[in-house]
Amino acid sequence: MDQISGTGTGGRPVNARATDTPPVGAAGSVLDLTEVVNELRAARESWRSEHQRNREFGGREFPSRTTLQRVVDDLAGALFPMRLGPPDLRQESEDYYVGHTLGVALHALHAQIRLELRRAARSADGVSVDERALAMVRTFAGRLPSLRRRLDTDVQAAYHGDPAAHSVDEVLLCYPGIIAIIHHRLAHELYRLGAPLVARIISELAHSATGIDIHPGATIGESFFIDHGTGVVIGETAIIGQHVRVYQAVTLGAKRFATDKDGYLRKGDPRHPIVEDDVVIYAGATILGRITIGRASIIGGNVWLTHSVAPGSHVTLASSQYDTTENRPG
C-alpha cells in the first residue's frame, strides 16, 4: 500500500496509510472521513475534467511561497547587509556574506523559476527549461547592483519626504513602503524576464506583510515614496514617473475591463493610470483608467478621478474640478 508522508498543520509529521485507524477527536469520538475524502476527490476530478487538467501526474509543480519568502529575505540582506543582514555581521565580512547569501538565494530562485517554466511548457525539453531558468537568474543577478541604487533613491525619498524620519536607517528598517518597494523592484525584474508567477507570489508576500498591493507589472521610477502605505493599490499596467509621493489608501486602478468575443476579460491591455514625475497623491484618492496625471500635479485626499489632468494641476475634492498653475494664488 502506498504511504503518504509529509508534515501536517502545526508541524507534526504525517505518515498515513489507507488502512490506518482514522483520527480520534478531542472528545474521544472516532472520525470517519471516508465520505469527505471521496467527495473532495470527486470535486477535484470534476474541476480537472472541466478545465482539461486530467493529465496532472507527479508531485507539486508550483513555486513555493515559503521558499520565495526566504529568497526575498536573503536578497534584501545581500542588498543591504549592514541593515537587513544578520545582527552579528561586521563590515570586513560583508563581501563574504553577500557572496554566500546571493549564492544560496539565487540557487533557490533558479529552482522556483524552473518549476514555473516547466509548468508553463510541459512538453518542453527539461534541459532547455533548465537553461532558460539559469539564463534568467544570471540576468537577474546582473541587475541587482542597479536595483540597489534605485532602492537607495527610494530610501532617500522617504527620508526627505517624512519629517518624522530621523535617519535613512530608520526608514529602511521600519517603513512598510520601503518593504513593499524592495519586494516590487525584485518582482518587477522577474516579471520582465518572464517569470510572472514567481513575481506575483513575491508581490503578494509584500501585500500580506504591509497592506500595500503593487502588481509586479507596474513600472515605477526612481525616488518613489509610499507614506504610511496601508490600502495602496497599484495596477499591472500603471506607469509611475520619478519623485512621486503616494499616501495611504490610494488606488491606481482600472475604470473598465474590455472583453473578448467570448465575453472573457482581455488580459494585458493598458488600463491603469500614467503618473508623471513629481506628482503627489494624498490619502484615499482613487484614480482610474488609462489617464495621465501631468507632471508636478497634486491630487487631494479622497478625490475620485477618471480623466487626465494637465501638468501642474491641483485637484481637490471640494471643487470636483482642477486648477492649473496659472490659476493658483501667489
Are residues 199 and 308 both part of a single domain?
A: no
Extract the runs of DSSP E, i.e. beta strands, from 139-271. Answer: 213-214, 219-220, 225-226, 233-234, 239-240, 245-246, 251-253
249: which 3 cell numbers?
Answer: 489608501
Asked if 67 and 201 count as a contact pair (C-beta separation under 8 A), the reply is no
Asked if 273 and 238 count as a contact pair (C-beta separation under 8 A), the reply is yes
Using CA atoms of 279, 282, 283, 286 in order, give the dihedral in degrees to the nearest 10. Answer: -60
Q: Is 64 helix (H, G, I), strand (E, B) or coil?
A: coil
Q: Given this model, what pLDDT does residue 54 score?
A: 64
The three-point CA angle 198-203-207 to 5° equals: 145
Task: Note whether residue 4 is domain-resident.
Answer: no
Rg (CA), the chain: 24
Distance, CA of 321 to CA of 227 (rounded, Å): 25
Are residues 161 and 292 both part of a single domain?
A: no
Q: Given this model, what pLDDT does residue 48 score?
A: 84
Count of domains forming the chain: 2
Q: Given this model, what pLDDT does residue 6 score?
A: 39
Are residues 144 and 270 both part of a single domain?
A: no
Instruction: Please list the pLDDT of the chain residue by residue as tens digits (330 residues).
Output: 333 333 443 444 444 554 455 554 554 457 889 999 999 999 988 988 887 776 655 566 799 999 999 999 999 999 999 999 999 999 999 999 999 999 999 999 999 999 999 888 764 555 689 999 999 999 999 999 999 999 999 999 999 999 999 999 999 999 999 999 999 999 999 999 999 999 999 999 999 999 999 999 999 999 999 999 999 999 999 999 999 999 999 999 999 888 888 888 888 899 999 999 999 999 999 999 999 999 999 999 999 999 999 999 999 987 555 555 544 444
Q: Is 176 helix (H, G, I), strand (E, B) or coil?
A: helix
Q: Given this model, what pLDDT does residue 322 score?
A: 53
Task: Note whether residue 24 is domain-resident.
Answer: no
Are residues 186 and 303 both part of a single domain?
A: no
Are residues 81 and 205 both part of a single domain?
A: yes
Are residues 203 and 288 both part of a single domain?
A: no
pLDDT tens figures, 258-275: 888 888 888 889 999 999
pLDDT tens figures, 61-119: 799 999 999 999 999 999 999 999 999 999 999 999 999 999 999 999 999 999 999 88
Are residues 253 and 157 both part of a single domain?
A: no
Of 212, 240, 256, the domain-final residue: 212
**CATH code where residue 327 lies:** 2.160.10.10
The three-point CA angle 234-177-72 to 5° equals: 90
Q: Given this model, what pLDDT does residue 159 score?
A: 98
Domain that holds residue 286: 231-330
Are residues 194 and 304 both part of a single domain?
A: no
Task: Note whether residue 262 is domain-resident.
Answer: yes
